[in-house]
Amino acid sequence: MLESKHVVLVDHRDNVLGIQNKLEAHHANTPLHRGFCVFLFDYNKRLLIQKRSSMKKTWPLYWSNSFCGHPQVTETYEQGVHRHSQFELGINLQELYHVANYQYQCTMKESNIMENEICPIYVALSNEHITINKAEIEEVLLLEWSESINFLNQHLTSFTPWCIEAFDLVKNGNFLDKVIGVSNAVVKV
């Protein structure tokens, strides 16, 4: 499966303004574009977190949520999520839930590259065997929700900024109890 080669440029209301090559779009003044952020659980209620590949242009070797990507101009956000789960992890998703609308902007100090995205957050479930794409992912961990929060807190400076904020939105969205039966009340991000 091929990865997206462009990003969809948008205004602050998510109206399409055009497209731009993905690598060319990410620089010190990255234009606002569409993305998505996914927290993937298996049916044993374990969350997959990933360390981004050393080959990534933005935040290489940082820990992050299960996967992120960019929908193509011909796709809905959800279609982009399903395509990208196959590209990064080699899996199909059995369930997908929209958790929150999210927009962020952050700059990586080491490279001065900015991320600037309208980036809905999703929780997904799959029990398929994961085969990571080494161009995208260095390594993965499967952790119980409370273990993932502890890991995040212990390695906070090694996590992508959007993942830290998205963890909090997932925790506060009451989706964990509804979707995987994990209580949010006992964990703190």
Q: Which tens digit of pLDDT belongs to each residue from 114-142? A: 999 999 999 999 999 999 999 999 999 99
How many domains, the chain?
1
pTM for the model: 0.92
CA angle 5-29-79, nearest 5°? 35
Sign (positive or negative) of CA dihedral 19, 20, 23, 28? negative
Q: Is residue 186 part of a domain?
A: no
144 is catalytic: no
pLDDT value of residue 158? 97
Q: What residue type is assigned to position 8 of the chain?
A: V
37 is catalytic: no
pLDDT value of residue 171? 83
Q: Is residue 100 part of a domain?
A: yes
pLDDT value of residue 36? 98
Q: What is the token pair recorded at 35?
A: 């993305």
Q: Is residue 103 part of a domain?
A: yes
Q: Is residue 189 part of a domain?
A: no
DSSP for 7-20, written as a single string? EEEE-TT--EEEEE
Q: Where residue 84 sits, what CATH number does that domain have?
A: 3.90.79.10
pLDDT value of residue 3? 59
Which of 11, 16, 47, 43 has its CA nearest to residue 122? Answer: 47
pLDDT value of residue 152? 96
Residues of the domain holding 43: 6-180
pLDDT value of residue 4? 63
Check 117, 119, 136, 163 and give the catalytic one: 117
- Parts of the chain with a pLDDT under 70: 1-4, 173, 175, 178-179, 181-189
Check 68, 88, 115, 119 and give the catalytic one: 68
Report yes or no: 114 and 29 within 8 Å, Cβ to Cβ: yes
Q: Is residue 85 part of a domain?
A: yes
Q: Is residue 41 part of a domain?
A: yes
